[in-house]
Amino acid sequence: MTDSPLKAWLDRDEQVLRLQLARPKANIIDARMIDALSAALDAHANDKRLLAVILDAEGPHFSFGASVEEHLPDQCAAMLRKINSLVMQMLEYPVPIVAAVQGQCLGGGLEVACAASPIIAAPDAQLGQPEISLAVIAPAASCLLPERVGQPHAEMLLFSGKSIDAQKAKTIGLVDQVSESPSEAALAWIDENIIGKSASSLRFAVTAARQDYIERIRVRLEIVEKTYVEELMQTKDPIEGLNAFLEKRKPIWGNDPEGAD
């Protein structure tokens, strides 16, 4: 379909699945994009020759993040289930997924990238979890970042909402490599490390390496998702923050944990 938010094709003699976010410049991780990513991954999960996946994006930016509209109270539970399901699908995928990012890689975009490994970033990349600025939280990042960069660095990103550049991200372990051409570097990484391996045995290696990690994320993600829907979104400030963003105005915080009207 010409209006698909995602491009998908096979590379390297059909051993590498290429997935490209194709709705620049924002490449928003909304329900349509999540559905397209999930369907493409599912369609190739059982390809016996598949060795790796590359996830990158068209345009100057990887992704501005999730859809703010879809995080309003009437949609947020369904949206969280979708993005968290995609994150788990990526973590459980039978072959490595390499994320190649450039420009802004924020919010839900960074959560999706963190479900891949490794992450290769362009020098201009800016990575961050700005959700707290809207008085909401980043459920998947709250679970993935401490595992990836350690608790202090994860808390800095999650509590401040600030973005960091690619070199700083590499220093703390969020990014594995900085390259002027991250998509080409992703292919080179696969050529050097993955091509030529047994596709069957690689799947056993991926499962063996990730089993405990996946289970930790699954348990924590269920808890944080419940906190988001049943506690956070019952207070006033998240609704104020989201609406203020959509209305392009400064939020007025009530700082009231007792609940929304």
Delimit the domains of the chain by residue range: 6-193
Q: 103, 62 in Cβ contact below 8 A? A: yes
Task: In whole angstroms, give the CA distance from residue 252 to residue 240.
Answer: 7
Report pLDDT for 165: 98
Task: Quote the CATH superfamily of domain 6-193.
Answer: 2-enoyl-CoA Hydratase; Chain A, domain 1 (3.90.226.10)
Q: 155, 137 in Cβ contact below 8 A? A: no
Which CA distances in Å does 239 have to 52, 53, 133, 246, 256? 40, 37, 12, 11, 12
Token pair of 256, please? 């009231």
Q: Would you call 235 exposed, middle or buried from its count of C-beta atoms within 10 A (0-12, 13-18, 19+)? A: middle
Q: 178, 123 in Cβ contact below 8 A? A: yes
Task: In whole angstroms, give the CA distance from residue 252 to residue 158.
Answer: 21
- H/E stretch holding 145 reads helix 139-149
Q: What are the tens digits of pLDDT across the range 185-218?
A: 999 999 999 999 999 999 999 999 999 999 999 9
Band (pLDDT 50/70/90 cuts) for residue 259 is: low
Residue 139 confidence (pLDDT) above 70: yes
Task: In whole angstroms, give the CA distance from residue 127 to residue 107.
Answer: 8
Task: In whole angstroms, give the CA distance from residue 224 to residue 113.
Answer: 19
| Whole-structure pTM value | 0.96
Q: What are the tens digits of pLDDT across the range 20-67?
A: 999 999 999 999 999 999 999 999 999 999 999 999 999 999 999 999
Mean local confidence (pLDDT), 231-253:
97
Report pLDDT for 256: 76
